[in-house]
Amino acid sequence: MSAPQSSSLSLARRVRGSDHLAGWAFTAPAIALIGLFSIFPIIWSVVLSFQHNDLLTPNARWVGWANYKQLASDPVFVKAITHTLIYTSLFVPLSIAIGVLVAVAMNRQVRFMSFYRMAVFITLAISTISTAIMFLWLTDPTYGIINSALHAVGIPLQGFLEDPNEALLVIVAMTVWGWLGFVVIIYLAALQGIPGELLEAASIDSASQWSIFRRITWPLLSPATLFLVVWLTINALQLFDEVYLTTRGGPLYSTTVIVYYLFDQAFNFFRAGLAAAAAYVLFLAILVVTVIQFWLGKRLVHYSS
């Protein structure tokens, strides 16, 4: 009887004596808050996704896989997935390409550079609602400045957000613009980490500007690129604000993406279970995509140390 007691005593003494307890104690409030606001909702959504639940009545019914089956047969959800994929596959490469271009252009000593930098970074500071209102009027088919400009050079007027074939592209343009400041900041920081002697050596060896970029700058930027691709992809798959503030998923579902779909289901149609199931499909998709990206990253990213 005495042996286990003494060993547990010594364990208690060891725990108390070490720094572990202090560490745990200091992080406990943060862990509790994360648990409350992140982990609990994550688990509760799993439960919710197997229920018919309108959030109003307490007698939610357990329905097994019915919500997931209903998703699979809902043509609007299929559209939402398609639009999310199209959006992501346009938004991420465009953001990276334009971002790296602007960052390289800004990574030098020119007059008024701080003004140019501010002009780009300001997109970070502008709230989504302001961006949305600005694009709503820029792209207005009748009164917008873009159509006026197109008209002036003889291009036929576009419907933009009024045209089911163009609305998603306008959202892409709006979000690429909105994220540009963030992408450029990351790339500028990474560019400043590239050792000057490498570039100097290359230019002494009379390498062209393009091959310097292609062979030195771009590979050395790859950790930043990996980070941006992962981060932008996760955000793209969760697109919501811009859609909610402009098209509300229309016209004719042409900008309905997954998160907008699940918002609609939960808060307009009182189908929280179906919405939770859609959220879980999205969660799994993001997980798979991110794992693939990291796996590819290990092979393609060059870490200089």
Partner 1 sequence: MRARVAILIAAAMLAGACTSNSQGSSGGPVKVLLWHGYEGQEKRSLDALVAEFNKTHPDIHVQAEFNAVNDHALQKVLTAVVGGVYPDISYLYGSWSANIQHSPITVPLNQFVKESSMNWNDFFPGERAAATVNGKIVGVPALVDNLAIVYNKKLFKDAGISYPTPDWTWDDFRAAASALTDASKQQFGWAYPADSTEDTVWHWEAMLWEAGGAILTPDNSRAAFDSPAGIKALTMLQDMAQDHSIYLDTTNTKIDQLFNSGKIGMVVTGPWALPSYPNVDYGTQIMPSFGGLNHQSIAGPDNWVIFNNGAERQKAAFEFVSWLTAPKQELKDSLATGHLPLRASVKRLPGYAQFPKKFSGISTFVNNLANVKQARPAVVAYPKISEALGQAIVSVLLGKSDARTALSQAAQQANAILAGQG
Binding region for partner 1 (CB under 8 A):
16, 21-22, 25-26, 28-29, 32-33, 54-58, 133, 136-137, 140, 142-143, 161-162, 164, 167, 246-248, 250-253, 267-270
Q: What is the DSSP letter of 153?
A: T
Three-class secondary structure of residue 202 per DSSP: helix
Using the minimum distance from each CB to partner 1, give the nearer residue, 162 or 241: 162
Task: Write phi, then psi, for 67 (nearest 5 degrees).
Answer: -65, -40
In the complex, what is the shortest distance from the CB of residue 144 to partner 1, in angstroms, rounded to a whole number? Answer: 10
In the complex, what is the shortest distance from the CB of residue 140 to partner 1, in angstroms, rounded to a whole number? Answer: 7
Using the minimum distance from each CB to partner 1, give the nearer residue, 21 or 122: 21
In the complex, what is the shortest distance from the CB of residue 22 to partner 1, in angstroms, rounded to a whole number? Answer: 4
Using the minimum distance from each CB to partner 1, give the nearer residue, 28 or 78: 28
In the complex, what is the shortest distance from the CB of residue 180 to partner 1, in angstroms, rounded to a whole number? Answer: 23
Task: Write phi, then psi, for 240 (nearest 5 degrees).
Answer: -150, -55
Cβ-count burial 133-157 (b if 16+ within 10 Å, e if not): eebbebbbeeebebbeeeeeeeeee
In the complex, what is the shortest distance from the CB of residue 10 to partner 1, in angstroms, rounded to a whole number? Answer: 17
Using the minimum distance from each CB to partner 1, give the nearer residue, 57 or 89: 57
In the complex, what is the shortest distance from the CB of residue 251 to partner 1, in angstroms, rounded to a whole number? Answer: 5
Using the minimum distance from each CB to partner 1, give the nearer residue, 167 or 224: 167
Interior CA angle at 84 toward 78 and 90, to 5°?
140
Q: What is the DSSP letter of 141?
A: T
Using the minimum distance from each CB to partner 1, give the nearer residue, 62 or 143: 143
**Tokens read off for 99:** 């971002």
Using the minimum distance from each CB to partner 1, give the nearer residue, 159 or 223: 159
In the complex, what is the shortest distance from the CB of residue 49 to partner 1, in angstroms, rounded to a whole number? Answer: 16
Separation CA 277–CA 287 (nearest Å): 15
Separation CA 100–CA 183 (nearest Å): 8
Interior CA angle at 101 toward 100 and 102, to 5°?
95
DSSP string, 54-88: -SSSS-PEE-TTHHHHHHHH-HHHHHHHHHHHHHH
